[in-house]
Structure 1
């Protein structure tokens, strides 16, 4: 074989490989997005940013189709996942599980049919059911409030906590909160109960706390919706013993209270923006359009919000 012939074959092979790579990269992506319904303001933000991602990304990428499904409970979400897989025939999925344990098998079934799976925020109980995980820093979400409360109370006092729903992220937050309190033996956690990230449920749980405990120094609510429910119950009861109310996720109304400085009980918060669903959809869609994978885990930092930086986290036009 002549040198010229070998060179021609090499060029043809290279061109063929380049064509194959281009073809693989250009394979259409049929992306399903499965999220909880907008039952409270944080989920309203999740829904808003998911739909914004669909609008922006489909306009940018002609080979991308995004189908969004919202569920009011875990059973409905499981059924929707099956529909996305078998009827819509998605080849990629971004899922914000309603609950961790209940959704692990349904998500695993989608992955088993060949879809690339990115799990967002509420992790699964079996990580083999996913390809990638994107979330805020739930350890910091629990650690930062505990450190703030311990410092504000001078290392001594009574605390109650409002948890979300049974999920891996809620466990991470509570574990981190408790880990800080272990270093402050004079701070007593009187009780921690689930309030489902819901204002009305938090209102009821707080009423129970206020009835049972006559001396409470601080409330920690692992979500601003629950914090607002707690505030309503506390104010209605006329309780003056509570020195600190610390929510979470940087809801615009809570950040505004910090900016205005009108409530001495509310001086700080911790960031956890619902916009991470937009980033999760964008990262997944654009990686799959290139035939690439995401890192196994992507964590978006959570930081303390106080008067010094609250302006950076105040978004008056946001639904959350």
Structure 2
């Protein structure tokens, strides 16, 4: 058995015949499992290849599941899991091992984290649970203390948007000793039981590729990072990997700070003061990018900026013609749902097959920004 489904002959393909089984229902379950395991929008052709079913059968199953809101079909023809499936999953969670209290510690009231808090309130309401939220103010000691407070209060599940990758191990160990799962959200953290994040390396790569194309493979660029978490370092690594095939692109400055627009403004001023020519900026998140943009616009500098998040402010600038020209997306609501699914499973004592889950980003630029619905 795999995830409660029979073993398939080829990939997800045909199930071994069993008396009393309904073939159409079995195939529908296989299609849903394939889409869930992929973790991204998937085309009909990909589903046909993954399942081994005839294309006409896959098409009919997808149409039927879409009609029931078990799947959702995008404008580009790809399929994702539908809203009704999430509602059923939430109901199943609530009926099995009830969760009464959820603790969430996050770095600062930056727009992305605020969107996560809003999504968590919705998830908590659906479960009939109480949500306890604390901002760590980008301080590792604060966050460690907040985790310990959650443990002392006897919450059922702890979620953290870490302010640092290292340094929370002792607090996480106390939670584990109390049998309270700790799920890291947005970035990996040493000591957590699971992590749900965007594929940040790919996000940085997408943004870097967009900047390299905008600069026609040449120019002096600056990198502005955020707090010391793996999400930021992975984004920078992805960016550097994207520009590495372009020897005429030179990184002339690298700056680190916080995760807000003020940090971006400060970094931009310092970099422009130290370097007479900067042809492009990479920002570790969209709020930093917005701060950089404000400085460039005040100086009437036509310098492209790329970032990560898919936030409304950045997308509006892309639609308006810059200076932000591209952003790699994150989905705070989807991250929260996935983290809650894993957290509730861990709370129930279940073994989670994939305790580390990374959601696939996509690039938003002038070509598709009008069709993209940003968060925030």
Q: TM-score, normalised by structure 2?
A: 0.69
| C-alpha distance in 1 between matches for 2:249 and 2:130 | 52
1:181-220 matches, cutoff 5 A: 181-220=243-282
Does residue 44 in structure 1 map to residue 114 in structure 2? Answer: yes
**Aligned counterpart for 2:184 among listed residues 119, 136, 143:** 119
> Could you tell me which of 321, 330, 345 is aligned with 1:272?
330
Residues 275, 217 of structure 1: alpha-carbon distance in 2 compared, 3 angstrom cutoff: same
- Post-superposition offset of 1:145: 1.1
Which of the pair has the greater relative contact order for Cα pairs under 8 Å at 6+ separation?
A: 1
Q: Is the 8 A contact 2:181 2:343 kept in 1?
A: no
2:317 maps to 257
Relative to structure 1, the CA distance from residue 66 to residue 56 in structure 2 (aligned partners, 3 Å threshold; closer, same or farther) is same
* Structure 1 segment 116-195 matched on structure 2, within 5 A: 116-124=181-189, 126=190, 129-195=191-257
Distance 1:27 1:41, change over 3 A: closer
Q: String of CA shifts for 1:135-156, please: whole Å, max 9, x gaps.
A: 0110111101111111221111
* Shift of residue 277, structure 1, vs aligned partner: 4.4
Give me the whole-angstrom Cα distance separating, in 1, the residues matched to 2:244 and 2:296: 27
Choose 1 or 2 for highest CA Rg.
Answer: 1
Give secondary structure in 2 for the equivalent of 1:102.
coil
Instruction: State whether residues 34 and 94 of structure 1, in contact with CA within 8 Å, keep that contact through their aligned partners in structure 2.
Output: yes
Aligned-partner Cα distance in 1 for 2:307–2:347: 38
Give, in whole Å, the separation in 2 of the partners of 1:27 and 1:286: 8
SS in 2 for 1:158: strand
Of 261, 280, 297, 1:235 maps to 297
Gaps of 5+ in 2: 1-94
Secondary structure at the aligned position of 1:122 is classed as: coil
Q: Is the 8 A contact 1:120 1:280 kept in 2?
A: no
Q: Decide whether aligned partners of structure 1 residues 142 and 33 sit closer, same or farther in structure 2, where only a CA change above 3 A counts.
A: same
Aligned mate of 1:292, from 308, 328, 350: 350
Could you say which residue in structure 1 is the equivalent of 2:305?
A: 245
Cα pair 1:50 1:281 within 8 Å, conserved? no
Q: Aligned equivalents of 1:311 and 1:235: distance in 2?
A: 22
Q: Which residue of 1 aligns with 2:147?
A: 81
- Secondary structure class of the residue paired with 1:100: coil
Following superposition, the deviation at residue 45 of structure 1 comes to: 1.6
Deviation at residue 272 of structure 1 after TM alignment: 1.0
Give 3-state SS (helix, strand or coil) of 2:166's partner. Answer: helix
CA contact (8 A) 1:37 1:47 kept: no
- Confirm or deny that 1:313 pairs with 2:375: no
Computed over aligned residues only, the root mean square deviation of the Cα atoms, in angstroms, reads: 2.3
Give the Cα–Cα distance (whole angstroms) in 1 for the partners of residues 297 and 131 of structure 2.
Answer: 44
Give the Cα separation in 2 of the matches to 1:42 and 1:284: 21
The structure-2 alpha-carbon separation of the partners of 1:289 and 1:133, relative to structure 1 and needing over 3 Å to count, comes to closer
Give the match for residue 13 of structure 1: none
- Say if 1:166 and 1:30 are closer, same or farther in 2 by CA, change over 3 A: same
